[in-house]
């Protein structure tokens, strides 16, 4: 309870400073509306049919992105983590692809996939694969070899070895990777929607009100929604990790 109050106190101080700066005249209210105005607009947006469609489109694309990234990265991570020669052969290619800026791939993705939802999902999946993949590969190397040797000594079938020993051992690391990928995927989705201005979503909604009407209260309200969605999903995954996997992440930086 004390931790919650401390976090709320920090948020309250930030909002008060924001309110003071906005109303002091240092920054024009049209450029940086006070939080009282933004928060009021934030709740009002949920009655806007256009915003509802944008939210539904972004959240659905986000869910698909996380599912695709997990389906691709977890089996691939198991494979690379278990077969060292394969990991050495593919290492340079992975290290080349991993740091590529996703937004720089938008023109290529648009030409290949068009400007619809499939394009932004493909880009977000590409960016989201890496944390899950690397966490899975790392987790394989951290499995207690004595546990594996004991299971093999009892002639445990390989499918059961994977199901009963490997997957439970790597699950906390994989879920941490998914938490990281959730944030990355949401950032890429909204950024792609904003930069292309074509695909329906929160990014396109923010772009419309920011570039045309210069309604910064609506822009900031949409931004707050994105941050709140990311926070709630991360909190839910962290709670699941603590409750079901018995491995609580320390600190609040991840």
**Cβ burial, residue 193 (10 Å; 0-12/13-18/19+):** buried
Q: What is the pLDDT of residues 40-60, one digit of tens each?
A: 999 999 998 999 999 999 999
* Model confidence band, residue 246 (pLDDT cutoffs 50, 70, 90): low
Q: With the CA atoms of 9, 11, 12 and 13 taken in that order, what torsion angle do they form, in degrees rounded to the nearest 10? A: 90
* Model confidence band, residue 213 (pLDDT cutoffs 50, 70, 90): low
What domains lie within the chain, and their CATH numbers? Answer: 46-244 (1.10.3720.10)
* Model confidence band, residue 211 (pLDDT cutoffs 50, 70, 90): confident
For residues 70-93, give the mean pLDDT: 91
- Using CA atoms, how far residue 127 sits from 38, 100, 238, in Å, is 31, 9, 21
- Tokens standing for residue 195: 């930069």
Q: Does the pLDDT at position 67 exceed 80? A: yes
**Model pLDDT, residue 187:** 94
* Model confidence band, residue 142 (pLDDT cutoffs 50, 70, 90): confident
**Model pLDDT, residue 249:** 47
User: What global pTM score does this model have?
Assistant: 0.85
Q: Does the pLDDT at position 163 exceed 70? A: no
Q: What is the pLDDT of residues 104-138, one digit of tens each?
A: 899 999 899 888 899 999 999 999 999 999 999 99
* Model confidence band, residue 251 (pLDDT cutoffs 50, 70, 90): very low
Q: Does the pLDDT at position 253 exceed 70? A: no
The residue assigned the tokens 């906005």 is 22
DSSP notation for 17-55:
HHHHHHHHTSS-TTTS--HHHHHHHHHHHTT-HHHHHHH
Q: What is the pLDDT of residues 219-236, one digit of tens each?
A: 999 999 999 999 999 999
Alpha-carbon span 61 to 205, nearest angstrom: 15
């Amino acid at each position: 309870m004390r931790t919650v109050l401390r976090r709320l106190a920090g948020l309250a101080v930030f909002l008060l400073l924001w309110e003071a700066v906005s109303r002091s005249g240092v920054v024009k209210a049209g450029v940086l509306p006070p939080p009282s105005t933004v928060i009021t607009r934030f709740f009002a947006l949920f009655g806007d049919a256009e915003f509802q469609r944008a939210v539904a489109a972004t959240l659905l694309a986000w869910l698909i992105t996380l599912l695709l990234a997990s389906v691709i990265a977890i089996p691939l991570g198991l494979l690379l983590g278990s077969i060292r020669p394969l990991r050495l052969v593919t290492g340079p290619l992975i290290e080349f692809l991993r740091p590529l800026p996703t937004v720089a791939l938008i023109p290529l993705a648009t030409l290949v996939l068009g400007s619809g939802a499939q394009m932004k999902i493909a880009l977000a999946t590409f960016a989201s694969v890496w944390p899950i993949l690397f966490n899975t590969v790392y987790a394989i190397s951290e499995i207690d070899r004595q546990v594996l040797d004991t299971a093999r000594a009892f002639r445990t079938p390989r499918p059961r070895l994977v199901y009963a020993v490997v997957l439970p051992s790597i699950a906390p690391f994989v879920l941490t990777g998914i938490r990281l990928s959730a944030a990355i995927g949401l950032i890429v989705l909204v950024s792609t929607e904003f930069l292309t201005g074509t695909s329906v979503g929160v990014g396109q909604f923010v772009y419309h009100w920011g570039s045309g009407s210069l309604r910064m209260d609506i822009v900031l309200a949409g931004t707050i929604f994105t941050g709140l969605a990311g926070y709630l999903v991360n909190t839910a995954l962290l709670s699941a990790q603590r409750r079901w996997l018995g491995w609580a992440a320390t600190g609040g930086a991840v």
